[in-house]
Amino acid sequence: MNKSTVIIKSPGRINLIGEHIDYNGGYVLPAATDLFIKFTFNISERDYSEIKSSVINKEFNVELNNLKKSNIKWENYIIGSLISILKKRNIRLYNFNCLIEGNLPVGSGISSSSSLICGFVQGISLLNKLNFSKNDLLSISRDVEYNFIGLKGGMMDQFTIINGKKNNLILLNTTDNSYDFIEADLGNYQILLLNTNKKHNLSDSSYNDRVDECNEAKRIINESGLNIKFLTEVNKDQLYNLKNRMPKLIYNRARYVIEENERTKKSIKFIKEFNFKSFGELMYSSHEGLKNLYEVSCKELDFLVDETVEYNQILGSRMMGGGFGGCTINLIHTEFIDLFIEKISRKYLKKFSIPISPIVITLGKGLRQEK
């Protein structure tokens, strides 16, 4: 039996702009981070498999011939991955030991769940010599989140984690997964995340409601005579002409999606021209849409964004991720980072009685095996 060790590093992801767009068929602008989850796999002689996480200080065992859903959520990311792998390849897997380590924060809006799934699936693939392609990894990982966990999102997170490239953004067209790498030369500016440390649980929140609301908007649009697959195929004028046919809430959701998709397309020009001020304005507009039209922000996120406006050294800020908690993403002058963190940490603690966690981001590599 092959007792070789398999080590996998799976990054988190940020998204500069294009929030809640990946399940609506538009453009997004994500990147892999230098923060990661590390998996160490070994084949086990036992008749069960053991998974230990030093990140959350928990462990559990599974029997590969008796896989069933757990009452403990994080375990289901592992169990669901194994079930999805066995659906893809009807083979007998080796029992294994898996140690999960790393520095990727959990529940902060930088895709720790997708990173966990992608890294685990790749590790099992290599341990069992399944030779999964990137597309295999993408479809399996999406299947776990969509069908087993119950989160109706798109594939931006998984795609970015699997395909990320150091110091590059990915302009991803989620209608067909075509993409371009864009070198992320931000000059004197850096990306700063501020984690609210407010607990959020997307599959138990209103995230799936937003997907359903967008589908309802699409249904009404198609009933009018248009034939669209994705909301982003409609322009603002076409949507406005249908305003009286839609409940206000549904109209607002669709309006946000169309406007955010346009912002993402505009942002590429500004980044390539090093026009970070104009790009930052798009970030603020994105947050206003997420707050007022899409209604996925919260008072903690709004406070952090509002507090940046008075500083010329911060060009843009918005909530990032599914919402209802998580973090803000900020485009900030390098020399102002330390002072701003000191100021905002003090203000946030005073207002909400919980600390924020600042994270300066470097764009890292995608999913990879370590030797």
Q: How many helices and strands (H and E) does the chain possess?
A: 10, 13
**Given the residues 157, 185, 204, 212, the one annotated as active site:** 157
- Rg over alpha carbons for the chain, rounded to the nearest Å, is 21
Helix or strand (DSSP H, E) at 240: helix 236-241
Here the tokens at position 197 are 């440390």
What is the 8-class DSSP label of residue 104?
P
Residue 47 among the catalytic residues: no
Cα-Cα end-to-end distance for the chain: 20
Question: Inter-axis angle of helices 156-163 and 112-127, to 10 degrees?
Answer: 50
CA neighbours closer than 13 Å in the CB half-sphere of residue 12: 24
194 contacts 358 by C-beta, under 8 angstroms: yes
What is the DSSP track for 145-199?
Answer: IIIII-----SHHHHHHHH--TTEEEEEETTTTEEEEEE---TTEEEEEEE----
How far apart are the C-alpha atoms of 146 and 8, rounded to whole Å?
23
Here the tokens at position 277 are 């001020």
How far apart are the C-alpha atoms of 26 and 21, rounded to whole Å?
6
Strand order in the sheet with 6-15: 58-62, 49-53, 96-102, 30-43, 6-15, 368-370
How far apart are the C-alpha atoms of 175 and 198, rounded to whole Å?
32
Q: Which residues are catalytic?
A: 157
